[in-house]
Amino acid sequence: MHLRNALRILLSTTLLLATSPAFSQAGAAKHTQAAVLAIQADQSIAKVSPTLYGLMTEEINHAYDGGLYAELIRNRAMQRDPSFVPNWLPLPEWPLVQRGTARATVTLDAKDGPSAALTRSLQLAVQQADATNTVGVRNDGFWGIPLQPNTTYTGSLFAKASADAASPLTLRLVNNNTGAVIASAQINTLAKDWKQYPFTLKTGAIAASADNHFELTVAHAGTYWFDLVSLFPPTYNNTPNGNRVDLMQKMAAMHPAFLRLPGGNYVEGNTIAERFRWRQTLGPLVDRPTHMSPWGYRSSDGLGLLEFLEWCEDLHMQPVLAVYAGYSLRGEHVAPGKDLQPYVQSALDEIEYVSGGVNTRWGAERAKDGHPAPFPLTYVEVGNEDNFDKSNSYDGRFAQFYDAIRKQYPHLQIIATAPVKSRTPDVLDEHYYRSAQDFFNDAHHYDHTDRKGPKIFVGEWATMEGTPTPNMDAALSDAAWMTGLERNSDLVVMAAYAPLLVNVNPMAMQWVPNLIGYDALRSYGSPSYYAQVLFSNHLGTEVSATTLSGANPRLYESVTRDAAKGILYVKIVNAASAAQPLQIQIAGVHAIDSHAHLYELRGHSAEETNTLDTPTRITPVSSTIAGVASQFTRTIPPTSISVFEIHYH
Ligand code: AHR
């Protein structure tokens, strides 16, 4: 090292030590000169959107069935899609169980079901069976049936039996490895017509495991029909037909402001016929026909429109309602004009179902479904990614939806999914799936965007790094990108990472990476999840003016304050592999508490990540730091995201 440089570093180090009581951290400023982040706390450059961070989900990666929606039985409605499972193959998920000398066949009865919506059923034709030689079907759930000790599981099924089928029906939960019966229940007789039979299964002192299956057996010859076989564990808030507790808790910790529902390709469907038909997702489960999702499997629609809205209510989010806008993924579209009118009317009805009073037609339907109170609604999104519509019909389609919605609901904010010329949307939904490098390089994307156009909803975005969930590098680039969203949240009113949920069983996922991973029993948040938690929980209400100088090119910052609470939130992302000493200068406040909270998310390498087996390898560490003043220095660790919560007067 040149002598003059050495002297300069020595001098600046001495200076920093003298001005900063917090500068006792090992290694600080040994390698790099301190950068300076100058904060003018009272100079507000933008309002922070209170709805900035929210959720976007859809039925992908078994996000609902086999994920958030707590149903444990797979293919409960006995569906077989000939394009996926040809007729000569057995009915999916319901193999035969035969014991001893029992004999039976299982088929799909395509002509008999319990309702107009469910018109087919599983037919079990038993030639021979008795009390010791039982026969029936099993279901392995969504990659196992997760069971906890001393827990009650609530089930029901629709069934009927031929006159000669004089058998009780036995329902059991069985361990796959030991064959042990963990819980069992009996329905004594089955009527000859369709009827719903409730049951409960209670576990004892077992070890929690997902290596279990569900069995349904009889002990007498005859013909039996079954449909809508359902089994639920305790759910979030103990809501019937409700959601998985651990996943709801993980989302709750993100303090999301909104839920885009139903998000992404799910609203469009592969074809017009397979679009999200909201009316068919309402009411008793037996009245929901189910539908094919664009991600290669059928959706039970147990998590339907009302359940989406109740999910919003549970997590104190507002719905961002996406309506089908006449374009589906394989390129089918509905021409604007009279052909599109029924779809526009359907959107108006849907809005009324969500937000109308009980004196409206669809508000009354919602009340009949069990929720008289209207849901608050501010945003309606017209379609999804309509930039992919090669017919160029979106301009016309959007205008038709826009005019009708604006006329009936003038207070609603209308979101376009692609730039349009025919009308000026209130908000434009932009999607970014990018490499870490691209997000690092574009963290200032919105800094100079014209404020005269529509507001921006970054309705889907993610760093595409890590499988099945993002690694630390992705979390850093996500956080770098979020500093830009936050600094510009006068313009960017909402943003949502996508996809949110993934069942990590290899056959379950269609997309990587995703924010939260799980199997039947366990779940974990990725480093990117914790970056979201950190940002969302320390939002602030105004963006303070800052200048950053002398930092490595991979250092990103955003400073907000909550003036009413007297808190400054200083977010620093150091994506470099070297520590960065940083002098933080705070002007524009009277006094600063000498102790602050620091939340730090740190990886040992860019590739480090969390998994089901190591769910908390990378999680935020919180501490109280001393020596905070109008000028203080901290060493920001390499590959880290730091949030300083500084109280001032
Ligand atoms: O998030 C996954 C998919 O990405 C969404 O369904 C779609 O909107 C986007 O192309």
Task: Please identify, by atom number, the ligand 1 atom nearest to the C-alpha of residue 511.
Answer: 2
In which band, very low, low, confident or very high, does the pLDDT at 32 lie, cut at 50, 70 and 90?
Answer: low
pLDDT by residue (tens digit) across 314-370?
999 999 999 999 999 999 999 999 999 999 999 999 999 999 999 999 999 999 999
- Maximum C-alpha span of the chain: 101
For residues 245 and 236, is the Cβ–Cβ distance under 8 A? yes
For residues 465 and 436, is the Cβ–Cβ distance under 8 A? yes
User: Could you give the angle at the alpha carbon of 249 between the alpha carbons of 248 and 253, nearest 5°?
Assistant: 115
192 and 100, same structural domain?
A: yes
**Lookup result for tokens 């961002």:** 320
389, 433, 434, best to mutate for ligand 1 pocket (most atoms within 8 Å of CB): 433
Q: How far is CA 475 from the centre of its chain?
A: 17
Q: How far is CA 420 from the centre of its chain?
A: 28
Does a structural domain hold residue 34?
A: yes
20 Cα: distance to centroid of ligand 1 (angstroms): 48
Q: Look up residue 513 and give its DSSP letter.
A: -
What local confidence, expressed as pLDDT, does residue 43 receive?
A: 97
For residues 628 and 21, is the Cβ–Cβ distance under 8 A? no
351 and 289, same structural domain?
A: yes
In which band, very low, low, confident or very high, does the pLDDT at 82 lie, cut at 50, 70 and 90?
Answer: confident
The one-letter amino acid code at 485 reads L
405 and 350, same structural domain?
A: yes
What local confidence, expressed as pLDDT, does residue 139 receive?
A: 98
The CATH number covering residue 425 comes to 3.20.20.80
241 and 212, same structural domain?
A: no
Residue 11 has pLDDT above 50, yes or no: no
Residue closest via CA to ligand 1's atom 9 equals 264
pTM of the model: 0.94
Query: Which CA distances in Å does 185 have to 10, 129, 215, 639?
Result: 78, 19, 11, 54
In which band, very low, low, confident or very high, does the pLDDT at 81 lie, cut at 50, 70 and 90?
Answer: confident
Residue 88 pairs with which residues in a beta bridge? none
Task: Please identify, by atom number, the ligand 1 atom nearest to the C-alpha of residue 266.
Answer: 6
- Residue 206 neighbours by CB distance under 10 Å: 17
329, 384, 388, best to mutate for ligand 1 pocket (most atoms within 8 Å of CB): 384
Looking at every residue in the chain, the average pLDDT score rounds to 94
Q: How far is CA 295 from the centre of its chain?
A: 16
Does a structural domain hold residue 468?
A: no
431 Cα: distance to centroid of ligand 1 (angstroms): 9
Strands 103-109, 567-574: pairing is: unpaired
What local confidence, expressed as pLDDT, does residue 14 receive?
A: 28
Does a structural domain hold residue 505?
A: no
Does a structural domain hold residue 512?
A: no
Query: Cα(152)–Cα(649) distance, rounded to whole angstroms?
Result: 52
Residue 498 beta carbon below 6 angstroms from any ligand 1 atom: yes
242 and 156, same structural domain?
A: no
The one-letter amino acid code at 298 reads R
Q: Look up residue 491 and give its DSSP letter.
A: T
Name the 3-class secondary structure at 285: helix
Q: Strand (E) positions, 48-151?
A: 53-56, 96-98, 103-109, 121-128, 135-139
Task: Please identify, by atom number, the ligand 1 atom nearest to the C-alpha of residue 295.
Answer: 6
For residues 595 and 624, is the Cβ–Cβ distance under 8 A? yes
Strands 596-602, 555-562: pairing is: unpaired
For residues 324 and 347, is the Cβ–Cβ distance under 8 A? yes
Task: Please identify, by atom number, the ligand 1 atom nearest to the C-alpha of residue 459.
Answer: 8
What local confidence, expressed as pLDDT, does residue 200 receive?
A: 98
> For the range 544-547, what are the long-range contacts, defined as Cβ-Cβ under 8 Å and sequence gap of 24 or more?
544/39, 544/40, 544/41, 544/42, 544/43, 544/44, 544/45, 544/568, 544/588, 545/39, 545/40, 545/43, 545/44, 545/45, 546/37, 546/38, 546/39, 546/40, 547/36, 547/37, 547/38
Residue 213 pairs with which residues in a beta bridge? 174
Residue 87 has pLDDT above 90, yes or no: no
Task: Please identify, by atom number, the ligand 1 atom nearest to the C-alpha of residue 462.
Answer: 1
What local confidence, expressed as pLDDT, does residue 2 receive?
A: 32
258 and 226, same structural domain?
A: no
What local confidence, expressed as pLDDT, does residue 21 receive?
A: 29
324 and 435, same structural domain?
A: yes
Does a structural domain hold residue 464?
A: no
557 and 423, same structural domain?
A: no
What local confidence, expressed as pLDDT, does residue 26 receive?
A: 32
265, 329, 389, best to mutate for ligand 1 pocket (most atoms within 8 Å of CB): 265
**Lookup result for tokens 């839920």:** 259
Q: Which of 183, 207, 232 is the last residue of a domain?
A: 232
Q: Look up residue 206 and give its DSSP letter.
A: P
Residue 126 has pLDDT above 90, yes or no: yes
- Residue 131 neighbours by CB distance under 10 Å: 9
pLDDT by residue (tens digit) across 578-623?
999 999 999 999 999 999 999 999 999 999 999 999 999 999 999 9
What are the structure tokens assigned to 250, written together?
């993980």
Residue 4 has pLDDT above 80, yes or no: no
Quick one: CA dihedral 620, 622, 627, 629, positive or negative?
positive
Q: Which of 185, 210, 232 is the last residue of a domain?
A: 232
Residue 492 pairs with which residues in a beta bridge? 456
Task: Please identify, by atom number, the ligand 1 atom nearest to the C-alpha of residue 385.
Answer: 8
In which band, very low, low, confident or very high, does the pLDDT at 85 lie, cut at 50, 70 and 90?
Answer: confident
Does a structural domain hold residue 243?
A: yes
Residue 609 structural domain:
12-46+540-647
Residue 58 beta carbon below 6 angstroms from any ligand 1 atom: yes
In which band, very low, low, confident or very high, does the pLDDT at 296 lie, cut at 50, 70 and 90?
Answer: very high
216 and 331, same structural domain?
A: no
364 and 253, same structural domain?
A: yes
629 Cα: distance to centroid of ligand 1 (angstroms): 46
What are the structure tokens assigned to 461, written together?
């975005």
Residue 265 beta carbon below 6 angstroms from any ligand 1 atom: yes
Residue closest via CA to ligand 1's atom 7 equals 264
Q: For the chain, how many structural domains are there in total?
A: 3
Number of Cα atoms under 13 Å in the Cβ half of residue 496: 27
pLDDT by residue (tens digit) across 518-572?
999 999 999 999 999 999 999 999 999 999 999 999 999 999 999 999 999 999 9
Residue 233 has pLDDT above 70, yes or no: yes
421 and 312, same structural domain?
A: yes
202 and 253, same structural domain?
A: no
Residue closest via CA to ligand 1's atom 2 equals 499
262: preceding bond cis by omega (within 30 degrees): yes
Does a structural domain hold residue 548?
A: yes
Q: Which of 200, 232, 264 is the last residue of a domain?
A: 232
Name the 3-class secondary structure at 78: coil
